[in-house]
Homo-oligomer: A and B are copies of this chain.
Amino acid sequence: MKNIIVGQSGGPTAVINSSVAGVYKKAKELGVKKVYGMVHGIEGFLKENIIDLDEYLDNEENFELLKRTPSAFLGSCRYKLPVVEGNEEIYEKIFELLDKYEIDTLFYIGGNDSMDTIKMLSDYAKDHNKHQLFMGVPKTIDNDLGITDHCPGYGSACKYIATSLKEIIRDNSSFGVEKPTICIVEIMGRHAGWLTAAASLCKDNDCEGVDAIYLPEVPFDLDKFLNKVKTLAKKKSSVVIAISEGIQTKDGKFVCELNDDDKKVDAFGHKQLSGSASTLANIVAKETGLKTRAIEFSTLQRAATHLASLTDINEAQMVGEKAVEEANNGKTGMMVILVRNDSEEYSCTTDIYDIHNIANVEKKIPLEWIDEKNNYMKDEYIKYAKPLIQGELLPIFKDGVVTHLVRK
C-alpha cells in the first residue's frame, strides 16, 4: 500500500476514534506513506476535504488523546451513496480523487449504512476494473451489525448506562419516607434493544438494579406496564424502569407517538424518536397520581468517553489494525468482525467477512435472552455483555475538565 484514507460515518461512539488510531498505527507499521483522513466521511471526500493524519498523530501524546476523544475526530456524515445507475459522476469523482492522491485503500468506520458504502464502492471497483481496495471497520453503540460478536462502541455505551443508572438508582432512593418516585429512563435503540438491555448490568450486591426493562423486540403492553408500576409502588419507595426509545405497542405504534404523530424523518428515512420516557411518565402520573421523573441519556450515552470501557477501546483499535492488515493482504469488500473465543476467560480475536452479508442487516437481541415476563434480561445476556464493559482508560484532565484532540 502506498497511501490510504480513512473516514468515519454515522452516529459517533465513545471509541470510534480508537479505530482511527488503529488504522493509523498499523498503516505506519506497514510503511504506508500517507494516511489521509476524510473530513465528514464520503460526503466531505467528494468535496476533497481531507487531512494528513501525520499532522496530528505523529506523537504519542496526541495518539493517546485521540483514544480519549469522543465523537468523530474526522467528522462524520449521514450521506448514503446512491445506486450507480444514473449517478455515475459521483463514483467517477471518488475514483478520480483516489487516483489523484495515489490512495490504494479506503477504510470506512461505521454501522449498517456505512457498510453499504463499502459494498457499493467495492462492487463498483470490481465492475470497473479499479485497483483500489475497500474495507469496513465496525462501529455502532447500537450493536446491531450482523456476524460480528459485538460492535466496538457498544461496550462503552453499556458501561455509561450501567454506571449512570446505578447513580440514578441511588439518587432516586434517597427519599424513602415520602411517597414513591417512579423514574423512567429512556435509552437509545430504535429497533434493537441491545443498549437498553445494558440496564441489567448495574445490579450487584450494592445495587438492587432497575425494576424493569422494556425492549423494542417485545410488543409494549401499556396496561401490563401500569399494573407493574402500581405493584412496585406498593412495595418500594423508589422505582427505576429502563425503556428503549423504540418500544411499540402490538399494533406497531411507537410509545412516543401515543401523543404525537408528525415525527420527523432523518436523511436515511429513519423516524426521529424521542420522548417515550416522558410520554410514559406523564401517563403514569395521570393514571396513578404517583410522582414521576423522565430521564433521557440522549447523546451522552455515545459521547461519554470519560467512562469508556478499556476492553472496548482496545477492540476498537484492534479492528482498525486488522482492516489495514487484511487490505495489505489484498482483501477488499470485507468488514472486520470480532470473534469471541470459546474459553472460560473472555477474549476476542478478529476476522473478516464479506460485506454483502453484513450491510443493511440489523441484528436484534435474541428473544430467549429476555425473561418470561418480558421485562428483564436473563443471565445469558449478562454473561454476553459483562466482559465488554471491563477496564478503564482514565481521561486526561486539564484544569478540572477532560481534554480532547480536535482538528485544527
Total copies of this chain within the assembly:
2
Q: Which one of B76, B283, B400 contacts A174 once the chains associate, using CB atoms below 8 Å?
A: B76
Given A394-B394, A406-B206, A177 and B267 touching (CB < 8 A)? no
Given A265-B259, A295-B300, A12 and B206 touching (CB < 8 A)? no
Give the docked Cα–Cα distance between A43 and B162 (Å): 31
Residues of B within 8 A of A166 (CB): 401-402, 404
Given A399-B386, A400-B389, A168 and B303 touching (CB < 8 A)? yes
B299–A401 contact, CB under 8 A? Answer: no
Q: Which one of B178, B270, B401 contacts A267 once the chains associate, using CB atoms below 8 Å?
A: B178
Q: Say yes or no: is A330 at the interface (Cβ < 8 Å to chain B).
A: no
Report the minimum CB–CB distance from A48 to chain B (whole Å): 13
Q: Say yes or no: is A114 at the interface (Cβ < 8 Å to chain B).
A: no
Q: Say yes or no: is A347 at the interface (Cβ < 8 Å to chain B).
A: no
A167–B300 contact, CB under 8 A? Answer: yes
Which of the candidate stretches A212-220, A272-280, A349-357 sits at the interface with the other chain? A272-280
Contact flags A299-321 to B (C-beta < 8 A → 1, else 0): 11011111101000000000000
Q: Say yes or no: is A405 at the interface (Cβ < 8 Å to chain B).
A: yes
Q: Say yes or no: is A360 at the interface (Cβ < 8 Å to chain B).
A: no
Which of the candidate stretches A29-37, A64-72, A116-124, A331-339 sits at the interface with the other chain? A64-72
Q: Say yes or no: is A391 at the interface (Cβ < 8 Å to chain B).
A: yes
Give the docked Cα–Cα distance between A268 and B307 (Å): 36
Given A44-B177, A283-B268, A306 and B307 touching (CB < 8 A)? yes
Q: How many interface residues does chain A have, given as a range? A: 35 or more
Q: Which of A246-278 contact B (CB under 8 A)?
A: 258-260, 264-268, 270, 272-275, 278
A305–B167 contact, CB under 8 A? Answer: yes
B176–A75 contact, CB under 8 A? Answer: yes
Q: Say yes or no: is A102 at the interface (Cβ < 8 Å to chain B).
A: no
Report the minimum CB–CB distance from A205 to chain B (whole Å): 9
Residues of B within 8 A of A176 (CB): 39-40, 44, 75
Give the docked Cα–Cα distance between A243 and B205 (Å): 38
Report the minimum CB–CB distance from A312 to chain B (whole Å): 10
Residues of B within 8 A of A164 (CB): 300, 304
B278–A309 contact, CB under 8 A? Answer: no
Most buried by B among A174, A260, A299, A391: A174
Q: List 13 A-B contacts (CB under 8 A).
A: A12-B174, A71-B171, A71-B174, A78-B178, A167-B300, A206-B403, A266-B279, A273-B278, A278-B278, A293-B298, A296-B296, A300-B300, A389-B400
Interface positions of A (Cβ within 8 A of B):
8, 12, 39-40, 43-44, 47, 69-72, 75-79, 159, 162-164, 166-168, 170-178, 183, 201-202, 204, 206-207, 258-260, 264-268, 270, 272-275, 278-279, 282-283, 286-287, 293, 295-296, 298-300, 302-307, 309, 386, 389-392, 394, 397-406
